Structure 1
Amino acid sequence: MLNQTAANFASFTTTTIVATATLHTVPSTIPAIIPATIPASIPVPILVSTSTSTNVHMDTHSLREERNRKNRAAVAKSRAKQKALARSLEEKLGKREIENEELRGTLAGLKREAEELKELLCLSTMLCIFEHGL
């Protein structure tokens, strides 16, 4: 009877492949003609359409391509953010360097003024001593 069932499947259509599987491994989504007299451990032929398997392959391929495209887009977006952050940090660094140079110039000017004030204080003190001492 099993041979007859396999022969029926083979002659069913030219775009059909006959595969065998044990009954307990047949997924419920795959249609199978199982005679009631076949025990559970005997291999049973299963109809598998080549067009269906091709579609499944194409679907997984397109899903993989879509996932890869999304990943590439996410990487590009991340790189763009990193470049923008790097530019922003470089601009801030440039501004800080300019501010530091200005502050160094101001500090040098203040040091000169402090030295001048010390000299003036010494001169003023000497003048007071001479005025009160004479």
Structure 2
Amino acid sequence: MKLLVVAGHPPEESYTPYSFRLGFKYRHRKGDWDSSGSCGQIQDTDKGQEVKFACSVDCDGGGIAIGLAKDIDATLVRVERVRIWQNSKPDEEPGADALTGGEDDKIFRLDRTSLKECESLITDRKELAAMRSK
């Protein structure tokens, strides 16, 4: 599983929204799978130990919660239900595919890695070029 969180500032908006892109593979299902959406306000909780994002997919596509620990380079991703699609078929009409958290797989710890490892999650060529130049 890979997660990319991006801060942006669209000209028509007066606040800085965040967006997420999630990429993963199933153990017993072919292909690369994605989900993406927007994230709400950041909340600093637990006496400043974790920053949380509440993220959702448009049209009742569910969402994820992201927790960024301040003292370690890891992220906790909490999944209840989030709409997904195959990476190779992003323009297909969204179906009933969803990643649903089970009893033993609804919280994932993702360790920080280089931005190069997340290039497959970036769909905008200009954004990818800008990230490569950093």
TM over 0.5: no
Report the TM-score range of the alignment, normalised by the length of the smaller protein: under 0.3
- Larger strand share, 1 or 2: 2
- Larger helix share, 1 or 2: 1
TM-score by length of 1: 0.18
